[in-house]
A and B are shown apart, each in its own frame.
Chain A
């Protein structure tokens, strides 16, 4: 993969509760912004294949989305389009498939677009209910994980992390404080307000030990990227961003097969493979956008990706090591905590941020670029059994 694929343009829409915009409108706007994001311009006909990240489709009554849906939305009827769904990392995997399309040598230019409409249903009926309720709708028997889904799996990890690793609910709240602060300066974030540890800990309990402000909001959004062969990139932009590694990692979805509740093998595998592909190491990375669907998840992700040993993340956070001006900025955009989690759009939105940061176009959010390497990470799916990691770089 390394050295074969370049990102020549990205674009997204501000995430939020976009009641006036349907799935189609959001996808179209993200696409238009993405086309505009190609510095030297691109003719849409140059795109030879597309991947459409769309997770919820039938779940929230949007109809079953297929590749043809995106074809109609974008007026791209002459190219192959596939819908991608792989849990919360749908965005990462959409990007990965578009990369493979180019790296395989079959297509010179591909499009990855993720769009999600969560807010046509109230919060309790969308992500919270998904995978919860009785589970019979997912082929499981209701006496397992009854009334779970949504936050409950991460809450199970959060309880065990406190028990085994010594982090506290305050540490979790600290993640929210930092990410909210970062989100204030991101025009694409859903939430752009500061919070305090006290405010987080006093917010209503969603799933003990997680409070409302430990959880990312329910949000709508869309984001896209256009990729091309690395050796053709300069035709479209003087500042291409190259793909070093793009990987998906698996773990068991069933909790009874999991080896412990303090780390996620999906992230560990995805990251390890991506680093191997790119022939780089965690210490080479300048900054990372990681999947903070819940505050405790961010701490787990930082350790699982390999940025620090297991059990150290909350200590480094206390020392301020993940702030935008520190050694390893985490979620300079504000992460999912500030952006929300429009599932398929999340990963693509993170890709946009990594690209802007590497091109030093991130305005107030700009972090110091030393090695020119940024990392994007998602984790989720049933039982958090899937993770996607993409490592991007300024040089091929």
Chain B
């Protein structure tokens, strides 16, 4: 079974999430989630409003994957980020290959990167880049 093509409704549906970082904030418990949802995953409330995620944050945790699936060259450093203003984001760090380069609590920012190519079409999304001090 192959994945839906980049030209499919799946990708088109996700454009506001992927490019404009639109998530959801719960008006009752304050939880910020992503992608957008109609029901809060924490408290079940229906009172949800759109919320734009911040592109900067700090590292919550990370790992470096050396056994990637076919079609993806290792290493792929995966990261969970605590975003400024709330919410988490799971993604990949770019321009990093060694575990020593990343520190929990370190600052990162989102940058657009080419994430995959399928049937000749490139798929873009935000990856994280370490913020240089100074």
A: residues with CB less than 8 A from B are 58-59, 124-125, 128-129, 132-134, 136-137, 139, 141-152, 155-160, 163, 204-210, 252, 254-258, 261
Contacts and interface: CB of A to CB of B under 8 A. Distances in A.
A258 B32 CA distance: 11
Interface string B47-68: 0000000000000111111111
A386 to B, nearest CB: 15
A148 B127 CA distance: 14
Nearest to A157: B61
B64 to A, nearest CB: 4
Interface residues of B, number: 49
Interface string B91-127: 1100000010000100000000101101000011111
Given A129-B69, A206-B67, A254-B33, A143 B3 contact: no
Given A143-B115, A146-B92, A159 B62 contact: yes
Q: Which 4 A-B pairs have the closest CB atoms?
A: A143-B125, A155-B63, A147-B76, A137-B3
B1 A139 contact: no
A134 B123 contact: yes
Interface of B: 1-4, 10-11, 14, 17-18, 31, 33-35, 41-42, 60-72, 74, 76, 78, 80, 87-92, 99, 104, 113, 115-116, 118, 123-127
Contact of B1 (A58, A255, A258): A58
B116 to A, nearest CB: 5
A252 B33 CA distance: 11
B92 A256 contact: no
B71 A133 contact: yes
B85 to A, nearest CB: 14
B33 A208 contact: no
